[in-house]
Structure 1
Amino acid sequence: MKVDYNKLVRDKIPEIIKNSGRACEYKILGKSEVRDALKEKLLEKAQVFMNKPSEDELSDIYELLDTIVEAFEYEPLHIDYLKIQNKENKGSYSEKVFLISVDDGQ
């Protein structure tokens, strides 16, 4: 039975499938295609993590973020700099602040 996936997978997945005695069809994405696929994959992985948080799923997200940085040609050190800036300007999430509402007085 053929099952359609139409999603980005890790590089070794086709080899793993073939080694299991099954056949698969895949293609190598171009620059713009992979960027769209990476964004979709990030949403997919975030949903999986929401449903069942685990270190394994979180490690997949870390790997995915590294790949996104590379695919979008971002500078990793600049990302780290922005992270530090945001933490200094807006704080972190460590205090567990949950905003209920804001009244603008109007």
Structure 2
Amino acid sequence: MKKTYNKLIRDKIPQLIEESGRKPTTRKLNDEEYFEALIDKVIEEIEEYRESGNEEELADVFEVMDAIVKFKDYEPMHIDYLKIKKKEARGVFDERIFLEEVEGDE
């Protein structure tokens, strides 16, 4: 019986599938496909975390985000700098403030 997945997977998954006696069908993605698959994957992992609240799912979110940073050739320390800069300028989310609406001129 075949089951279709059509999604980005971790590098060792094909080997694990084979070791279980099954046969995976895989292909390498080009850059455009890979980036789109990473975006889909981070959304998938966030949805899984939302449903489960499991730390392991949250770790998966971070893993995919790290892959995006690496693929885009961003400097991780610069990403950290940007986070600090935004934190100083706009704050964080500790106060749990939910904006409902704003009245007046823009």
Q: For this structure pair, what is the TM-score category when the shorter chain's length is used for normalisation? A: over 0.9
1:44 CA displacement: 0.8
Is structure 2 residue 77 aligned with structure 1 residue 82? no
Structure 1: which 5+ runs fail to align?
none
Question: 2:2 maps to what in 1?
Answer: 2
- The normalised TM-score by structure 2 is 0.94
Cα distance in 2 between the residues matched to 1:37 and 1:98: 31
Aligned length: 106
CA distance in 1, matches of 2:5, 2:31: 20
CA–CA separation in structure 2 for the residues paired with 1:59 and 1:6: 22
2:103 and 2:66 map into 1 onto residues whose CA distance is 39
Match of 1:21 in 2: 21
Q: What corresponds to 2:73 in structure 1?
A: 73
Deviation >6 Å, runs of 4+:
none
1:59 partner amino acid: A
Amino acid at match of 2:27: K
Q: CA deviation at 1:103?
A: 1.1
Please state how far the C-alpha of 1:105 moved relative to its aligned partner.
Answer: 5.5
Q: Identity of counterpart residues, as a percentage? A: 43
Distance 2:104 2:90 in 1: 20
Aligned residue type for 1:31: D
Q: Which residue of 2 aligns with 1:34?
A: 34
Q: What are the ranges of 5 or more consecutive residues in structure 2 without an aligned counterpart? A: none
Aligned AA for 2:4?
D
Aligned equivalents of 2:11, 2:53: Cα separation in 1: 24
C-alpha displacement of 1:39: 0.5
The TM-score normalised by the length of structure 1 is 0.94
Aligned to 1:26, the other structure's residue is in SS state: coil
Over the aligned positions, Cα root-mean-square deviation in angstroms equals: 1.3
